[in-house]
Amino acid sequence: SQQGEEDPQALSIQEGENATMNCSYKTSINNLQWYRQNSGRGLVHLILIRSNEREKHSGRLRVTLDTSKKSSSLLITASRAADTASYFCATDGDSGNTPLVFGKGTRLSVIA
Amino acid sequence: DTAVSQTPKYLVTQMGNDKSIKCEQNLGHDTMYWYKQDSKKFLKIMFSYNNKELIINETVPNRFSPKSPDKAHLNLHINSLELGDSAVYFCASSQDYGGGRGQYFGPGTRLTVT
């Protein structure tokens, strides 16, 4: 069954603005990951946050995790046209050896 | 240099045919996966496989079967293709079983069944 649900489904911003995408999930997790998919390409792993972490940074990316609300957010600061892509969250179960379950993604368009 | 490669990139075929998609990873990973991405971009796991265990998503029709000649390859065979099989199929690999430390994806194979 689908685990992650991204919100919003689509987001359009101007270059230089910040973009925030949210992800909600249903069951307990070991970690939550964010991936980017450019049009016609495979997914690229961006960042992983463990269930005992609350915030993590990587370059212009900032991820937060609230396990009490079963939600995560991905913030992209100072967006660029090259950030235009779909962004997916993925979660794994806390029982180990469970495959990742992906949400439907947020389609981000950054307008130059 | 490509970490995870798939062939072909595009595959157009008729209903009822049998086809295969090949996947190779040069990362030395122990686990490989096949995903199906539908027209609404929903990514669904089909198989997880390492040298010890194959886990099949129970919703996947048995017309789909993974074949692994060695640790670096996981091919996808599809028998009696149906219109609903049209989608983009992604191969992925990870160091750990389950991908809890991140998965590496291939570029995808767009399958069109006519």
pLDDT mean over B86-102: 85
Domains of chain A (ranges plus CATH)? 5-111 (2.60.40.10)
Closest by alpha carbon to A110, among A3, A48, A40, A36?
A: A36
Q: What distance in Å separates the CA atoms of residue A3 and residue B39, rounded to the nearest whole number?
A: 19
Q: Is B41 on the interface with A (CB under 8 A)?
A: yes
* The pLDDT of residue A100: 84
Instruction: Mutation target for B interface from A33, A50, A97: give the one with most B CBs within 10 A.
Output: A97
Question: Is the pLDDT reported for residue B114 higher than 50?
Answer: yes
- Reduce the DSSP state of residue A81 to 3 states and report it: helix
Contacts of A87 in chain B (CB under 8 A): none
Higher-confidence residue: B92 or A1?
B92
Window 70-99 of A, Cβ < 8 Å to B: 86, 88, 90, 92, 96-99
Task: Establish, for the pair of chains A and B, how many residue pairs have beta carbons separated by less than 8 Å.
Answer: 59
B chain contacts of residue A92, beta-carbon cutoff 8 Å: 98-100
Please provide the DSSP assignment of B3-61 as one string. SEEEE-SEEEE-TT--EEEEEEE-S--SEEEEEEE-TT--EEEEEEEESS-EEE-TTS-
Q: Which residue has the tokens 């028998």?
A: B79
For A29-58, the pLDDT digits (tens) are 889 999 999 998 999 999 999 999 999 999
Residues 13-72 of A with CB under 8 A from B: 30-31, 33, 35, 37, 40-45, 48
How many CA atoms are closer than 13 Å to the CA of A35, on its beta-carbon side? 27
Place of tokens 């991204």: A6
Question: A45 vs B98: CB contact, 8 Å cut-off?
Answer: no
The full set of domains in chain B, from first to last, is 4-113 (2.60.40.10)
Do residue B104 and residue A45 have CB atoms under 8 angstroms apart?
yes
Q: Measured between alpha carbons, how far is B112 from B13 in angstroms, rounded to an integer?
A: 6
Residue of B nearest to A87 (CA): B41
**pLDDT tens, residue by residue, B9-50:** 999 999 999 999 999 999 999 899 999 999 888 899 998 888
Residue of B nearest to A95 (CA): B98
Which 3 state secondary structure label does DSSP give A58? strand
Q: Quick one: pLDDT at residue B36?
A: 95
